[in-house]
Amino acid sequence: MDSVPCLRVPQCQAQKLRRSLQSKGALDLSLSLVKDSDGTVLLPILASCLSQLELQSFRTTVASDDDFEVVWSKSALQSKKEKGRASSSKLEKVLQELLESHGERWTEELKRDIPRSFQRHGDLVLLGDTCFVLPLWENMDQQLWSTVARGLGAKRLAKIRRISRDGFRSPEVTMLLGAHSWVKHVDNGISYEFDVTKCMFSAGNITEKLRVAGFDCRGETVVDLYAGIGYFTLPYLMHAKASHVHACEWNPNAVEALKKNLEANGVSDRCTIHQGDNRQLQLCGVADRVNLGLIPSSEDGWSVACRLLRRATGGVLHIHQNVTSPVQHSTAGDAPQKVSGKKADREVWQAWAEDTAKHFASLLKDFTGTQWTTNIQHIEHVKSYAPHVHHVVLDLECRPS
């Protein structure tokens, strides 16, 4: 591949600048962004748009004095399709060799039974439950998993079947290859360690973690009501520079990982862990900011959040929710067709946000006996959770009147 122009940016600003480039039509969507060896991120730019880029406007976009530069990269970038094909073709090749050594023939049915997507956590690859289900694979025993690991460039393999209904959203994961199940995942300079058989890690929340990292929380006390292994607790401490974070978590396995991660990242002295049901939390009136990072809904924690805000000054709530957009029907043509669009989705999100703001104003009045003003600062779309279901975050400012 010939060298292509890229914008080199700090990792904590990468997602915001990627969106900015995409909105200007300057991002090369056929190429993958990559982390460089110095910790920066390379965003591929369309050569035709290069002359129109104004670096100062990007600094304004992210309110940052960081240096951005245009560089030319040759080996670092790879097309998204090529990346997927390379991994898939190598796996196919080694599996075909394995089957031939057992006197078996490679078929289209077997090809459809190998994984097309998976999660990678360091040297461990986590497979889904829809691959390697044909009876033929059972004859390969442990040799199969050694071969799959070699094909995917991994040392350990595991398979996730479902998320259990134990109240902790614990994954049902079986180790297929490897002596232990602890993994290390690095996002935005933050190290997360956890046991894949006991804790979840949502890569889909990376944009929200990067957004939190961009907050200025100096001098603030933050309460993270659903801390998990530190998904948001750590960005608040390490990048947003919160003075102190109270991290609430009731899953003992997640608490074990959270303690480990706070120590590993050198911020344990600025965090207090509260293990157990956050509805029983004894804190009151201490928070400048409360993170309610639970989906499909954090509503069980809304009253707790109201109790946590400072009585005199209030604060900001970050309320996560899965919001369902109603399916609209078009009568064009011979039969009704389901239609949806970004504008319709955003209208639904706005309506939910307005209802939520009113609800919090009422909760705060009931709790304090005084009037409160709630203001919608921002609605962030995190990811599509399911058809017509979107994970969004409402930034709600709450102040005593």
CATH at residue 50: 3.30.70.2580
Distance (Å, whole) CA 322 – CA 385: 7
| Same-domain status, 247 and 373 | yes
The domain boundary, picked from 73, 91, 114, lies at 73
Residue where one domain finishes, among candidates 145, 180, 215: 180
Specify the CATH number for the domain of residue 309: 3.40.50.150
pTM greater than 0.95 (yes/no): no
In a domain, 331, yes or no: no
In a domain, 133, yes or no: yes
3-state SS track over the chain:
CCCEEEEEEEHHHHHHHHHHHHHCCCECCCECCEECCCCEEEEEECHHHHHHCCHHHHHHHHCCCCCCEEEEECCCCCEHHHHHHHHHHHHHHHHHHHHHHCCCCCCHHHHHCCCCCCEEECCEEEECCCCCCCHHHHHHCHHHHHHHHHHHCCCEEEEEEEECCCCCCCEEEEEEECCCCEEEEEECCEEEEEECCCCCCCHHHHHHHHHHHCCCCCCCEEEECCCCCCCCHHHHHHCCCCCEEEEEECCHHHHHHHHHHHHHCCCHHHEEEEECCHHHCCCCCCECEEEECCCCECHHHHHHHHHHEECCCEEEEEEEEEEECCCEEECCCCCCEEECCHHHHHHHHHHHHHHHHHHHHHHHHHHHCCCEEEEEEEEEEEEEEECCEEEEEEEEEEEEC
Choose among 195, 206, 197, 188: nearest CA to 229. 195
Please state the domain count of the chain: 3
The verdict on 18 and 132 lying in the same domain is no
> Do 35 and 87 share a domain, yes or no?
no
Q: Does the residue 332 lie in any domain?
A: no
246 assigned to some structural domain:
yes
The answer to whether residue 23 is domain-embedded is yes
Is 142 contained in some domain? yes
Q: Are residues 243 and 358 in the same domain?
A: yes
Instruction: Give yes or no: residues 56 and 91 share one domain.
Output: no
Write out the chain's pLDDT in tens, 401 residues.
467 788 888 888 888 888 888 877 788 877 877 777 677 888 888 877 766 666 666 666 655 556 677 777 764 455 555 555 556 688 999 999 999 998 999 999 999 999 888 888 889 999 988 899 999 998 888 899 999 999 999 999 999 886 545 555 567 889 999 989 999 888 878 999 999 998 888 776 878 998 999 999 999 999 999 999 999 999 999 999 999 999 999 999 999 999 999 999 999 999 999 999 999 999 999 999 999 999 999 999 999 999 999 999 999 999 999 999 887 655 555 444 444 567 889 999 999 999 999 999 999 999 999 999 999 999 999 888 888 899 999 999 999 99
Tell me: do 169 and 222 sit in the same domain.
no
CA–CA separation, 285 and 59 (whole Å): 36
- Pair (260, 361) in one structural domain: yes
The residues facing 322 across adjacent strands are 391
With respect to residue 189, please indicate whether it lies within any of the assigned structural domains: no
Q: Based on the domain organization, do 166 and 212 belong to the same domain?
A: no
List, in order, residues 6 or more apart from 349 with CB less than 8 Å away: 323, 379, 381, 390, 392
If asked whether residues 214 and 352 sit together in one domain, one would say yes
- Containing domain of residue 206, as a range? 202-326+340-400
Domain boundary among 180, 210, 238: 180
One domain, residues 67 and 93: no
CB atoms within 10 A of CB 341: 10
The CATH number that applies at residue 128 is 3.30.300.110
**Same domain, residue pair 233 and 270:** yes
In this structure, the answer to whether residues 229 and 369 fall within a common structural domain is yes
284 in Cβ contact with 221 (< 8 Å)? no
Is residue 195 domain-resident?
Answer: no
